[in-house]
Structure 1
Amino acid sequence: MNSDPLADVMGETPRAEINLATIEANYLALKSFAASAETSAVVKADAYGHGAAQVAARLQTAGCTTFFVAYPHEGVAVRDAIGPGSDIFILHGPTAADISLFSSAALIPVCNSVEQLELWLRAGIKMGYALHFDTGMNRLGIRPESLTDILQLTGDKSPLLVMSHLACADAPGHEMNASQLERFKSIAAHFPDSKKSLSATAGIYLGSDYHFDLVRLGIGIYGGGPARPPEVRTRPALKLTAPILSVFDVKEGETTGYGASFTARRPTQLATVALGYADGYLRSASNYGFGILDGTPCPVVGRISMDMTTVDISDLPERPELQTHIEFIGPHAGLEIQAEALGTLDYELTSRLGGRISRVWTD
């Protein structure tokens, strides 16, 4: 079995390989599906762990001119990467402490309350803004009962964008979808000169009625998200691997890891790899997750620790060499399959990947 030729160069650390060509292809596939609307890219949380600067720059070359992040400092980083000309919306809106960043980096605030809109208008910054209305998710956004106050404040200063967010878009038959659509239409009618946006990735699959002027593509760009129509072909862009630190045998009845939560039921060959919860590999993977080596599943056994994970390699045809990399996310260890095994979402798996992971961007 061949060892990983990059292991000596990268050192004994986990590695994330991010394929920018795949991200671009995913974006273009989704853009084609939602052809009636402008397709923006959500690159918050470091582009869901894929590298916001690299992803935004690549998508800009593919024709994307609108980006969304959560915080102003994220917006500054994206602006530094892509330069002037494109719109960068800040989903959490402005605060008194960071409002100067909006002007210096040409960022557009998404105002989520009457108070945020008042703050923005008082600042007198000669830039556009967006309004986010809560149409039923009850998490963030301007409450419908505040619409009159908002209209009085905006006057002839129409927002660039009026938006909302669907709570149940990943469940196409859920009654909340139609309910939020009608509420959004009612609110949006008061802003005839503004662009409208309701759908993120899952929402575009609900039909063109949900597309409006702009859709906000997030997890779909990175190859995840809910079940897709057959004509939408996307695939995960990130491959996570980790090197083997040790290989050893345990006897039937022996245990491994903290708490002795795994007991070998047969003579078992184990490998400890350099990947732990400090790297974002969830502790819920303990005794449930798996890696892949040479096409063979290697179940996680015992508890995930801070820096290490142990896997059962008994089914491999031969003993692997140290520093051989085992795949935990990628073409053989699917993002959605891993998320299901860990009882979480694909969003969480990639966005939690830590700073100790070496990231490599490829085409």
Structure 2
Amino acid sequence: MSSRPRAHIHLSSIAANWQAIDRLNPTATTAAVVKADGYGLGAAKVSRTLARAGCSTFFVAHFEEGTALRQALGFGPRIFVLNGPTGSHLRTYREADLTPVLSSEEQVELWARAPRGACALHFDTGMNRLGLSSSVLTHRRNELHKLQPVLIMSHLACGDLPDHALNRVQLDRFTEIASAFPDTPASLAASSGCYLGKAYAFDLTRPGIALYGGSTPPETVRLEPTVTLEARILSVFSARAGESVGYAATHTLEQNTTLATVALGYADGIPRSGGNTLIGYLDGTPCPVLGRISMDLITIDVSKAQAEAKSGARVEFLGPHAKLEEQAARAGTLGYELLTGLSNRVERVYP
């Protein structure tokens, strides 16, 4: 039996989460962000599942992700490439029917010289990360209109903080920008923005992490866990009070303890910062991680699950008990990083 960790990907749950987000804003089109290989869960399989559920618009980050997704989906669905075009890929954008998102004046100029195809315009409304300045509307409005964009978009900096004042500032700025393109669909809300209400939905929403069970939805929205990450116990043993566990002896046992070492580590994508904080679940029983996480191994306290703690048993580190955002918080990170950080050493299983 292989000792490789396994990630069981629940495609039906991803579809259910998309449908839950879709119901929030019924007058808007609900797209799906599948960049970073579908947040680590397999973009081709995830996207085909979402397409069957009714999704017809997808977002990726890179051109190469777009071409791979086109091969997986065939022609028909709209695929936006968030990082925009480069000169070497212009013809392939058209051949693969990919829609670049233009975020700089250089990209606007490049696309204006390209074999004409659909594009989107991304404006910065306060995040100061990526996007056209609204000032381009004063001196390049005609040029932008000649591109005939199929989408005007921006991105919220604080969508996961519903009461943050910048949300309203960005909404007002984007509303003014969108008014310059009255016949073009507009999009502002990613996952957390979908929870902020109808005003933020505009014509198209772009959920990403929410599709995969992450984010912090309101109580009225139930998202299902979409991945169960399990790792095999290699050994079970006893250690005495006063002894230490793991590299640098960062945990000292206060009492005699039954320990288990699990075949999982930071080479598999589990953050090293999760040492002494993460919790594994053995048949539903919480088993705290003790000591540092090493490259291939994690040690857990199985004192409360001794009957189940046997070599070969599998411990849940993400799933129905080990909830994505709760585990991420224990490691001082986000659900995004836990999912996208799963390495290719983790076997993906599609039940």
Contact between 1:158 and 1:193, CA under 8 Å: does it hold in 2? no
The structure whose RCO (Cα within 8 Å, separation 6+) is larger is 1
Q: Distance in 2 between matches of 1:37 and 1:155?
A: 23
Q: What is the SS of the residue equivalent to 2:295?
A: coil
Q: Distance in 2 between matches of 1:100 and 1:122?
A: 11
Mapping of residues 74-89 of structure 1, within 5 Å: 74-89=65-80
Contact between 1:14 and 1:275, CA under 8 Å: does it hold in 2? yes
Q: Distance in 1 between matches of 2:306 and 2:251?
A: 23
Contact between 1:162 and 1:197, CA under 8 Å: does it hold in 2? yes
* Per-residue deviation, residues 216-250 of structure 1 (Å, max 9, x unmatched): 011111111123241x2211111100001111211
Mapping of residues 146-157 of structure 1, within 5 Å: 146-157=136-147
Give the CA deviation at 1:319. 5.5
Q: What is the SS of the residue equivalent to 2:69?
A: helix
Contact between 1:288 and 1:341, CA under 8 Å: does it hold in 2? yes
> Which amino acid is the alignment partner of residue 70 of structure 1?
A
Q: What is the SS of the residue equivalent to 1:144?
A: coil
Q: What is the SS of the residue equivalent to 2:37?
A: helix
Q: Could you list the runs of 5+ residues in structure 1 that have no partner in the other structure?
A: 1-7
Contact between 1:164 and 1:198, CA under 8 Å: does it hold in 2? yes
Q: What is the SS of the residue equivalent to 1:245?
A: strand
Mapping of residues 20-169 of structure 1, within 5 Å: 20-123=11-114, 125-169=115-159
Aligned counterpart, 1:4: none
Q: Distance in 1 between matches of 2:139 and 2:42?
A: 39
> Which amino acid is the alignment partner of residue 291 of structure 1?
G
Contact between 1:205 and 1:229, CA under 8 Å: does it hold in 2? no
Q: Distance in 1 between matches of 2:79 and 2:250?
A: 47
Q: Distance in 1 between matches of 2:76 and 2:219?
A: 33
Give the CA deviation at 1:346. 1.1
Give the CA deviation at 1:155. 4.0
> Which amino acid is the alignment partner of residue 200 of structure 1?
A
Q: Give the direction of change, closer, same or farther, for the CA distance of 1:155–1:172 in structure 2 (3 Å limit).
A: closer
**How many residues are aligned here?**
351
> Which amino acid is the alignment partner of residue 274 of structure 1?
A
Aligned sequence identity (%): 51
Question: Which residue, out of 279, 284, 295, partners 1:290?
Answer: 279
Q: Give the direction of change, closer, same or farther, for the CA distance of 1:118–1:286 in structure 2 (3 Å limit).
A: same
Q: Distance in 2 between matches of 1:76 and 1:289?
A: 37
> Which amino acid is the alignment partner of residue 56 of structure 1?
S
Q: Distance in 2 between matches of 1:150 and 1:322?
A: 67
> Which amino acid is the alignment partner of residue 218 of structure 2?
R
Q: Give the direction of change, closer, same or farther, for the CA distance of 1:319–1:218 in structure 2 (3 Å limit).
A: closer
Contact between 2:258 and 2:306, CA under 8 Å: does it hold in 1? no
Aligned counterpart, 1:331: 320
Q: Distance in 2 between matches of 1:264 and 1:98?
A: 58
> Which amino acid is the alignment partner of residue 360 of structure 1?
V
> Which amino acid is the alignment partner of residue 45 of structure 1?
A
* Per-residue deviation, residues 49-99 of structure 1 (Å, max 9, x unmatched): 111100100000111110001001111111111110010000010112333
Q: Distance in 2 between matches of 1:108 and 1:299?
A: 46
Aligned counterpart, 2:10: 19
Aligned counterpart, 1:175: 165
Aligned counterpart, 1:255: 244
Q: Give the direction of change, closer, same or farther, for the CA distance of 1:229–1:313 in structure 2 (3 Å limit).
A: closer
> Which amino acid is the alignment partner of residue 150 of structure 2?
L
TM-score (norm 2): 0.97
Q: Distance in 2 between matches of 1:206 and 1:305?
A: 40
> Which amino acid is the alignment partner of residue 276 of structure 1?
G
Q: Does 1:301 align with 2:284?
A: no
Q: Give the direction of change, closer, same or farther, for the CA distance of 1:185–1:319 in structure 2 (3 Å limit).
A: closer
Contact between 2:126 and 2:157, CA under 8 Å: does it hold in 1? yes
Q: Distance in 1 between matches of 2:91 and 2:218?
A: 41
Contact between 1:204 and 1:210, CA under 8 Å: does it hold in 2? yes
